[in-house]
Structure formats: structure tokens, C-alpha cells
Amino acid sequence: MTALGKIGAVLLLSIGGGGIVAANGASQFEAQSPRASPITHTVLYHSESVLGKDLIASGENAGRIVDVLADESGRVRAVVVDYGGFLGVGSRKVAVAWSDLRFDPYDSNGAVTTNLPPERLRTAPEVKTGKPVIVVSDHD
């Protein structure tokens, strides 16, 4: 028996907390599981990255999305926008709440929009490495 065959013979898979299921389909310890959850999956029929997209704030181009920020549980909470300046000179990075963003799948240029007024972005605290991030929102 080859090394690969030996590995295949002992391959075990964990399926949704419902015990251990061997590669041949035999189940062990299934009765011990207090809750067997079904395997679920999500199908994304239209998916696209937001990185590099323009942010349109109240009808004006506010900059380009350069990063996505998640909290400690992994939930996306904000995007970082390279705001202001010209060709990268004089711009600064500000954080905008994810909940304030709107995505239009029918928009030909793929811009992301928000109802935040441009003056709110102009006065937003800058995102700096190693410092706490203050996220601006239309809901404050």
C-alpha cells in the first residue's frame, strides 16, 4: 500500500459537529452529539471587491476605498477611504461605517455611495497606523 493509500485509509472528516464520519461513510459517536447542524453554504451570484472603488458622498467623489476594517469577531465594520488631495498628494485616510455604504449592482462604474455630507468627511479624524480608528457615520 502506498503512503497516499495509508493516509486515505485513515482520513476522518468532521461534519457539522455531528460526530466523526470516516472517508468510507461509517459514522461513530453520532448519538453523543447534542445538536447536529446541517452543512450550509452561500452562493454569491454577483460578487465584486470594494477595494479600489470610488466612494461617492452626497453626489460628490470623496476618494477611493483602500482598505476594509473588521472587528475582533470578524464582522466588517468600516472602509478606509483615501480622501481629498490630488493624485495622492495631500490626501488622508478616513474610516467610513460599513452600514452607511450603498452598493448598486447596476451602476456601470461600480462606485459605492453614501449619504454622508462631504464636510463630515473633511472633518473626520485621520486613520493612523497603531492608533484607535474613529469611524464616521451618518447615524451619529
Write down the domain spans for the chain.
3-32, 54-136
Tell me the CATH number for domain 54-136: 2.30.30.240
CB 29 within 8 A of CB 12: no
pTM over 0.85: no
Cα dihedral across residues 102, 104, 107, 110: positive or negative:
positive
Average pLDDT over residues 105-123: 84
C-alpha cell at position 124? 473626520
| Degrees to nearest 5, angle at CA 133 with 128 and 136 | 115
Model confidence at 90: pLDDT above 50 = yes
Collapsing DSSP to helix, strand or coil, 32 comes out as helix
State the DSSP H helix or E strand holding residue 114, giving kind and residue range, or none if neither.
Answer: strand 112-114
3-class SS shares of the chain: helix, strand, coil, % to 5: 15, 35, 55
State the DSSP H helix or E strand holding residue 120, giving kind and residue range, or none if neither.
Answer: helix 118-122
| Degrees to nearest 5, angle at CA 95 with 74 and 100 | 80
Model confidence at 97: pLDDT above 90 = yes
Question: Pick the residue with more confidence: 58 or 26?
Answer: 58
